[in-house]
Structure 1
């Protein structure tokens, strides 16, 4: 056996290993693509469906997030405006805040993201017309709580600074008692005075799985090509 034989055998093993690895990653991305397409179809169906009542307090403990996210709901109750929470936001309207307000209903208390306000409207007095008292009906989309923060910024409840809509933390900070484990994004129905601005939910999902799959499969083919060249060289030198 020549001195180069062990190196060629090692190269053969590495080419075979990477061909299998890249092929496996490509197959995984195909599976992720199927999952993402199913998710997109499911969400599109939910956001365009007729509004239904949201899950009541009796079922909150057994809810499965994937079964309720982006479901279109309608509910009637009363806003607890003194306990609203401002969550920093960056939207198509620019920087500002989400106005997240407790909503008391016969089925329980829900946090409702009433919509966006610019910095000069953060104080309730600057949008008094929108602080409607008495029973109202709202329609919106169920959204999941955001306990991990957003954009690498962690909520600071003790300072009342919020960067994400963490339902449990907000409820604790405001002393709300039991609340739904999700929040509701209000739709575009205009509020008196024009603020908050609802209906700014972004319903889009990045889907680059096909590109990733093709990339991994291409690398697998290159590894196989390298394997074939190495094997041919080994045979010719044998």
Structure 2
């Protein structure tokens, strides 16, 4: 009787000492599992993005988004859509520094994207990436052939705005040199009228628009995406499993010592 009573009396303090570590372990485990599930959601999103990056540029061209739809554009749905845009090139050009690797054409390495304004037959303007020219970062504007004159139907890929990162250099408007492609930021380089309706997206010209001299080299849209979300998810789930194992060892150790 006394042994049983003593064992029962001794058990209560052990469980009282275990409740706080258990609650903390459950909370931490819930966070780890939720992070793993979030990475699985990101995996599905990235997989769909990669599939779109492969299929959209090869689809038949469609009409560009109308200005009335610009504010509601879903960039994940619109990016890399192949467009057929009737209109004409306007005077002016600006440059965006880049490093072209895995090029489809013969030119690669450090250089510039050549950006030019294109006025559509509907009256609005889109900035067009005419292609790549190899050069350094000395700020000197390269000499490139002018775009075609007159009315054309431009074949190209819609590109979402390219936001600057933490270490992106400031642009040099006096040299017409930028480091990201953002239509709103680059607009002053082209002296467009104040009432110009400028598209929030840019357009990457198709390879077929490359001039006979080969510069600027068009059709070099980057379509490579990393997809590490499955590894991240497995890491979070593995940490949750490890936490459960540590908690179990801790509890069993406490129970053996009571």
TM-score range for the pair, normalised by the shorter chain length: 0.7 to 0.9
Distance 1:28 1:63, change over 3 A: closer
Q: Aligned equivalents of 1:170 and 1:96: distance in 2?
A: 18
Q: Aligned equivalents of 2:165 and 2:173: distance in 1?
A: 12
Partner of 2:212: 192
SS of aligned partner of 1:42: helix
Q: Aligned equivalents of 1:215 and 1:119: distance in 2?
A: 42
Say if 2:116 is the partner of 1:101. yes
| Greater C-alpha radius of gyration | 2
Say if 2:186 is the partner of 1:170. yes
Map 1:68-83 to 2 at 5 A: 68-80=78-90, 82-83=91-92
Say if 2:70 is the partner of 1:60. yes
Q: Aligned equivalents of 2:61 and 2:218: distance in 1?
A: 16
Say if 2:249 is the partner of 1:234. no
1:214-235: CA deviation from partner (whole Å, max 9, x where unpaired)? 1111111111011111111121
Partner of 2:3: none
SS of aligned partner of 1:192: coil
- TM-score by structure 1 length? 0.86
1:109-145: CA deviation from partner (whole Å, max 9, x where unpaired)? 111000000128x746x333x5432233321110012
Gaps of 5+ in 1: none
Q: Aligned equivalents of 2:75 and 2:19: distance in 1?
A: 51
- TM-score by structure 2 length? 0.80
Gaps of 5+ in 2: 1-9, 102-107
Q: Aligned equivalents of 2:166 and 2:84: distance in 1?
A: 27
SS of aligned partner of 1:164: coil
Q: CA RMSD in A?
A: 2.6
Q: Following TM superposition, by how much is the alpha carbon of 1:106 offset from its aligned partner in structure 2, in angstroms?
A: 0.6
1:188-224: CA deviation from partner (whole Å, max 9, x where unpaired)? 1131321100111111221101001111111111110
Instruction: Give the paired residue count.
Output: 233
Partner of 1:207: 227
Distance 1:7 1:160, change over 3 A: farther
Does the Cα contact within 8 Å between 1:16 and 1:223 map onto a contact in 2? no
Partner of 2:4: none
Distance 1:7 1:228, change over 3 A: same
SS of aligned partner of 1:193: coil
Q: Following TM superposition, by how much is the alpha carbon of 1:162 offset from its aligned partner in structure 2, in angstroms?
A: 0.6
Distance 1:69 1:97, change over 3 A: same
Does the Cα contact within 8 Å between 1:86 and 1:100 map onto a contact in 2? yes
